[in-house]
């Protein structure tokens, strides 16, 4: 658990870009240019964002791109703009989490959708779910439980 926390902290400035087209024999510079084109055109970010590293996660044709922002503020700004401007498109931007947290979030997502469908406010934060200001965690494979006396974030 401690190693997982450290891994997530090391990924804190990373963003994952899904749905970016990959040209044949893509170079690292072309990969970074694809991210920069997305930031400039659909997202409309006027200031240049500094990246420490930009790369595909594998050699597969539709592999996502991981971009490590030098400044955390840039990462937050990109996520905010992407949620506003990329809705309904084939491209989306997400936070980068460890495999364990991604697995938990995948399981929590069905509960988030059910809560939203029933008219509740629901959002995922790291490895837990907030439903109408109450914090829920995974309890077993497919069920969730409310965390008593949790200091949930009100949004």
CA 114/CA 107 separation, integer angstroms? 12
Write the CB contacts of 134 (distance below 8 Å, at least 6 apart in sequence). 146, 150, 152
What's the confidence (pLDDT) of residue 140? 78
SS3 (DSSP) at 123: strand
Q: Of the candidates 70, 74, 40, 41, which has an alpha carbon nearest to the alpha carbon of residue 54?
A: 70
For the segment 3-26, the average pLDDT, to the nearest whole number, is 90
- Please write the tens of the pLDDT for every residue from 72-127: 999 999 999 999 999 999 999 999 999 999 999 999 999 999 999 999 999 999 89
Reply yes or no on whether the pLDDT at 150 is more than 90: no
Helices (H), 11-150: 28-40, 72-85, 99-117
CA 124/CA 101 separation, integer angstroms? 11
Q: Whole-model pTM?
A: 0.83
* Other CB atoms within 10 A of residue 78 CB: 21
Q: Considering the domain 2-95 in this protein, what is its CATH number?
A: 3.30.70.1820
- List the chain domain ranges: 2-95, 99-146
């Amino acid at each position: 658990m401690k190693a997982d926390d450290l891994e997530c902290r090391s990924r804190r400035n990373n963003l994952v870009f899904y749905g970016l087209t990959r040209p044949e024999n893509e170079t690292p510079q072309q990969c970074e240019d694809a991210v920069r084109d997305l930031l400039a055109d659909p997202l409309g970010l006027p200031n240049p964002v500094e990246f420490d590293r930009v790369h595909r996660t594998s050699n597969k044709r539709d592999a996502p791109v991981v971009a490590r922002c030098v400044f955390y503020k840039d990462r937050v700004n990109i996520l905010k703009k992407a949620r506003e401007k990329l809705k309904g498109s084939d491209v989306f931007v997400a936070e980068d989490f460890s495999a364990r947290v991604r697995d938990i979030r995948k399981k929590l997502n069905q509960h988030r959708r059910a809560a939203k469908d029933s008219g509740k406010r629901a959002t995922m934060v790291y490895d837990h779910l907030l439903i109408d200001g109450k914090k829920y965690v995974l309890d077993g494979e497919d069920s969730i439980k409310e965390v008593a006396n949790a200091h949930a974030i009100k949004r």
